[in-house]
Amino acid sequence: MNDRSVTILFDGNGRVYEPGQVLAGEYRLESVDPGSVKSIEVSVLWYTEGKGDEDMAVHEFWQFSADDGDWIDPMRPARFSTTLPNSPLSYDGVILKVRWCVRVRVFYHRGKDLVGQQAFQLGGVPPVEVSTS
């Protein structure tokens, strides 16, 4: 059985951030054999859900590759930090939703990639209330 996973934790257990604030935290690889990781990508990104075309944009991106000499130790947590932009703000509408997350993607020398994702909210836009009348 394969219990490999990615755990992403934000400093201070935060989940709601304002534009210009620093989003920082760490990610941990669970049940990953040392030496099996080829590279790791860490992204802070937003994406849309809903009607119409879905959009996605990466705010911050880091890549670490064992082939390039980067030190990757799956037994130790790794840190990330970025200053969040002014927009787009998180939005939970009826037709469109804007979601922010930190995504960690692990590439192995052999086998399927592993992806972990942790959502957070950028800004304080209240959710849309749907009238039932």
DSSP character string of 20-49: TPEEEEEEEEES--TT-EEEEEEEEEEEEE
Q: Which two tokens stand for residue 123?
A: 């800004």
Phi, psi of 7 (to 5 degrees): -110, 130
Q: Note the pLDDT tens digit of each residue in 17-58.
A: 999 999 999 999 998 887 889 999 999 999 999 988 889 999
User: What is the Cα–Cα distance from 121 to 114, expressed in whole angstroms?
Assistant: 24
pLDDT for res 81: 97
**All domains of the chain, ordered by start, with CATH?**
5-122 (2.60.40.640)
Kindly report the pTM of this predicted structure.
Answer: 0.88
What is the structure's pLDDT at 1?
A: 42
Region 56-69 average pLDDT: 93
Question: Residue 131: what pLDDT?
Answer: 65
**Which pairing describes strands 78-83 and 22-30: parallel, antiparallel, or unpaired?**
antiparallel
User: Which pLDDT belongs to residue 125?
Assistant: 80
Asked if 59 contacts 80 with a C-beta cutoff of 8 angstroms, the reply is: no
Report whether 25 contacts 9 (CB < 8 A): yes
What pLDDT digit, counting tens, does each position of 69-123 carry? 888 888 899 999 999 999 999 999 888 999 999 999 999 988 889 999 999 999 9
